[in-house]
């Protein structure tokens, strides 16, 4: 029998001060050339498994690890320091966490130096790697000038320079707009054909990866292996179990279930039959005629470039506003100007009828809550409990209730930085909601969440919306926009190019031109309409 590229045997990982293992009796093999999709609920140990496979654990693990991991027949712990990382490379959710240099070419060169490549060969190798991922034109640029999608590609190029046998991608599309996500997947598909890299892909969003994967592994909440096989089999045999575990199903499957179609279900929208009927849910409009934020002739610029130009924008009390657009379009910048986190170069912004400049900082941010895209940017304390209680007058019972609502009560004593990405996101939302703000701004609130915790978060946000809180949500997720938003802004190159109800945006806007995609239901209708025109 052919020796596997990687073999995991009865792997169990338990963190210090934890009685329950994060990974439980995990056994599987990976063969050269596999393209594996690893799915599981938020907090099921997917990223922990990554750290075990690339040798970070058990060396840097505060806890216990039993079982074994072998690469090409040799135990991972027997490799010299850094050796295994030339064979097993990882691209993380946030590419900025793994950059070591300031420029694009220096980042690639750093990996080549670790490979001990001769200096005279480096120039050509940098060109080769950057050409593979389409960034050769940015070779001399500073990394901070790249878009989110380009940074993710650079992180990919930096690990490709190591020429690994196994490439692990940990939620690589989580921070990308739909167009950048598709572009990244197409790049990886091309690389797969060129170099026959073995892939282990950790993702919540299945749809992008359907053309690429040949095997699916499912982790349960206790970190055990629930399923290992074909994705279509998993979905058609265990769809209810998957949804109960918070695992996202492909959009086509969700549409088929909504339309009460019998199994087996296709995995892609183009394979769905004609004539499916869906129930349309219209978000409840809570807005009043009172303006909560007014933006007039606001400009944000430096000497060389105008980053944002908003002639006029009114946000009404009780609205649920979605701000969307491609990476780098100015969405987050607009939200930070609206909330006083940044000051405009010119123009004025009012909150509740008063200029932002006239508000005392502490009084303003009792009225405004802002959840950053990166949760770590707002953590201030050493435990989950203290993070909820910080700066609040909430009673113990209210803090307990908040932790239970976001399903973090068992982690109350843990340090916020020790949580999974999904748990960090839920904590960051809860720290803002507990103060009962009049305006809540959320930058990618469902980033890193499974389907169950997404529903928990959005239900919590909607409860506050129904109590009169005005919501501003920055997102690339058109399903969220379709389900919850009463109004949509599309931002492109620092300007608002569409401001309308969601249903009008779906029918009028050229979403693909803005790096966006239609919600699945609308994509199905449009595809069938186009097909009928050519029938």
Q: Please state the rounded mean pLDDT for residues 467-490.
A: 94
Q: What is the DSSP string of 379-399?
A: --SSSHHHHHHTT----HHHH
Alpha-carbon distance values, 119 to 29, 116, 125, 507, 534 (Å): 37, 9, 10, 55, 57
Q: Which of these ranges, 25-34, 113-122, 201-210, 285-294, has the smallest mean pLDDT?
A: 285-294
> Which pLDDT value is given to residue 474?
95
Residue 138: closest CA among 120, 153, 160, 118 = 153
Which positions ≥6 away from 70 have C-beta within 8 Å? Answer: 6, 7, 9, 76
Residue 419 CA, chain-centre distance (Å), reads 16
Tokens of 67: 């079982």
CA angle 528, 533, 535 (to 5 degrees): 90
Architecture of the domain defined by 6-248: 3-Layer(aba) Sandwich (3.40)
Asked if the domains 6-248 and 291-528 are classified in one and the same CATH topology, the answer is yes
Which tens digits make up the pLDDT trace of 294-348?
999 999 998 888 999 999 999 999 999 999 998 888 999 999 999 999 999 999 9
Higher per-residue pLDDT: 147 or 209: 209
For residue 376, what is the enclosing H or E element?
Answer: none
Q: Partners of 71 in the beta sheet? A: 6, 74
Alpha helix stretches (DSSP H) within 54-118: 84-87, 104-114
**Which run of H or E residues covers position 47?**
helix 46-53
Residue 535 pLDDT more than 70?
no
- Indicate whether 143 pLDDT > 80: yes
Q: For residues 148 and 272, which has the higher predicted lDDT (pLDDT)?
A: 272
Q: What pLDDT does residue 289 have?
A: 80
| Close Cβ partners of 86 (under 8 Å, ≥ 6 residues apart) | 114, 115, 162, 163, 164
Q: What angle do CA 449, 454, 460 make, to 5 degrees?
A: 130
Cα(445)–Cα(434) distance, integer angstroms: 16
Tell me the mean pLDDT in the region 388-409: 82
The highest-confidence range among 32-46, 270-284, 310-324, by mean pLDDT, is 310-324
Distance CA 264, CA 233 (A): 9
pLDDT attached to residue 66:
92
Of all residues in the chain, the percent with pLDDT exceeding 90 is 54
Average pLDDT over residues 264-272: 92
Antiparallel, parallel or unpaired: β 74-75 and 63-71: antiparallel
Q: Which has the closest alpha carbon to 76: 62, 64, 87, 92?
A: 87
**What does the alpha-carbon distance between residue 134 and residue 476 come to, in Å, rounded to a whole number?**
23
Q: Which of 179-188, 258-267, 277-286, 318-327 has the lowest mean pLDDT?
A: 277-286
pLDDT value at 405 more than 70 = yes
Q: Does 296 or 378 have the greater pLDDT score?
A: 296
Q: Which of 429, 450, 454, 448 is nearest to 440 (CA)?
A: 429
DSSP 24-38: EEEEEEE-TT-EEEE
Least reliable range by pLDDT among 10-14, 171-175, 366-370: 171-175
At residue 442, does pLDDT exceed 60? yes
pLDDT of amino acid 232? 94
Please check the confidence at residue 431 and state whether its pLDDT lies above 80.
Answer: yes
Residues 218-244: pLDDT tens digits? 999 899 999 999 999 999 999 999 999
Q: Give the span between the Cα atoms of 326 and 182, in whole angstroms.
A: 13
Q: List, in order, residues 6 or more apart from 352 with CB less than 8 Å away.
A: 292, 367, 438
Q: What is the mean pLDDT of the chain?
A: 89
Q: Is the pLDDT of residue 456 over 90?
A: no
* Higher per-residue confidence, 420 vs 365: 365
Q: Return all residues near 254 (Cβ < 8 A) that are at least 6 apart.
A: 520
- The edge-to-edge listing of strands for the beta sheet with 88-91 is 88-91, 166-170, 198-202, 35-39, 215-219, 225-229
Residues in contact with 480: Cβ distance below 8 Å, sequence separation at least 6, in sequence order: 322, 446, 458, 473
* Stretch (H or E) spanning 198: strand 198-202
pLDDT band at 452, cuts 50/70/90? Answer: confident
291-528 CATH: 3.40.50.300
Contact between 511 and 492 under an 8 Å Cβ cutoff? The reply is: no
pLDDT at 393: 62
- Residue spans of the domains in the chain: they are 6-248, 251-279, 291-528
Q: What is the mean pLDDT of residues 436-452?
A: 89
What is residue 32's predicted lDDT score, i.e. its pLDDT?
93
Residue 278: predicted pLDDT: 81
What is the per-residue pLDDT for 531? Answer: 66
Closest by Cα among 502, 184, 148 to 330: 148
Contact 106, 166 (CB under 8 A): no
Look at residue 266 and tell me whether its pLDDT is greater than 60. yes
**Token pair of 91, please?**
């691209």
Q: What pLDDT was estimated at residue 200?
A: 97
β-sheet with 6-15: strand ranges across:
23-30, 6-15, 63-71, 74-75
Lowest mean pLDDT among 32-41, 358-367, 519-528: 519-528
């Amino acid at each position: 029998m052919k020796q596997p590229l990687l073999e995991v045997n009865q792997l169990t990982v338990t963190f210090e001060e934890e009685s329950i293992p994060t990974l439980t009796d995990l056994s599987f093999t990976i063969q050269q050339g596999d393209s594996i999709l690893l799915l599981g609920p938020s907090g099921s140990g997917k990223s922990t498994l990554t750290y075990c496979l690339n040798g970070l654990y058990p060396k840097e693990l505060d806890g216990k690890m039993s079982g074994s991991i072998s690469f090409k027949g040799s135990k991972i712990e027997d490799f010299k320091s850094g050796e295994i990382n030339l064979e097993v490379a990882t691209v993380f959710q946030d590419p900025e966490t793994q950059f070591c240099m300031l420029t694009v070419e220096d980042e690639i060169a750093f990996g080549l130096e670790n490979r001990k490549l001769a200096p005279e060969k480096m120039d050509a190798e940098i060109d080769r790697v950057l050409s593979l991922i389409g960034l050769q034109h940015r070779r001399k640029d500073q990394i901070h000038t790249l878009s989110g999608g380009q940074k993710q590609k650079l992180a990919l190029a930096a690990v490709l320079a190591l020429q690994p046998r196994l490439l692990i991608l940990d939620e690589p599309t989580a921070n990308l707009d739909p167009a950048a996500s598709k572009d990244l997947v197409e790049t990886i598909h091309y690389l797969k054909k060129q170099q026959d890299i073995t892939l282990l892909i950790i993702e919540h969003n299945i749809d992008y990866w359907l053309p690429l994967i040949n095997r699916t592994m499912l982790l349960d909440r206790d970190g055990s292996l629930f399923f290992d096989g074909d994705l279509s089999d998993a979905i058609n045999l265990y769809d209810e179990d998957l949804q109960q575990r918070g695992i996202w199903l492909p959009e086509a499957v969700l549409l088929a279930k909504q339309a009460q179609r019998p199994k087996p279900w296709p995995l892609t929208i183009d394979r769905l039959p004609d004539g499916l009927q869906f129930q349309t849910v219209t978000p409840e409009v809570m807005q009043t005629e009172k303006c909560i934020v007014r933006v007039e002739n606001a400009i944000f610029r430096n000497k060389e470039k105008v980053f944002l130009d908003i002639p006029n924008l009114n946000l009404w009390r009780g609205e649920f506003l979605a701000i969307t657009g491609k990476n780098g379009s100015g969405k987050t910048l607009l939200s930070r100007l609206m909330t006083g986190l940044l000051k405009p170069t010119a123009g004025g912004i009012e909150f509740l009828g008063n200029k932002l400049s006239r508000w005392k900082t502490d009084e303003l941010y009792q009225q405004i809550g802002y959840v950053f895209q990166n949760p770590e940017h707002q953590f201030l304390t050493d435990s989950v409990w203290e993070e909820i209680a910080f700066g609040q007058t909430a009673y113990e019972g209210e803090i307990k209730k908040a932790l239970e609502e976001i399903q973090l009560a068992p982690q109350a004593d843990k340090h916020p930085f020790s949580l999974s990405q999904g748990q960090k996101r839920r904590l960051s939302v809860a720290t803002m909601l507990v103060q009962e703000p009049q305006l809540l701004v959320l930058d990618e609130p469902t980033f890193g969440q499974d389907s169950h915790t997404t529903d928990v978060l959005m239900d919590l946000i909607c409860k506050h919306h129904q109590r009169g809180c005005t919501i501003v949500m920055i997102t690339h997720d058109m399903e969220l926009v379709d389900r919850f938003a009463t109004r949509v802004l599309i931002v492109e190159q620092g300007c608002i190019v569409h401001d309308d109800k969601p249903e009008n945006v779906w029918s009028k806007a050229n979403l693909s031109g803005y790096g966006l995609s239609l919600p699945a239901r609308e994509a199905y209708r449009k595809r069938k309409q186009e097909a009928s025109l050519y029938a």
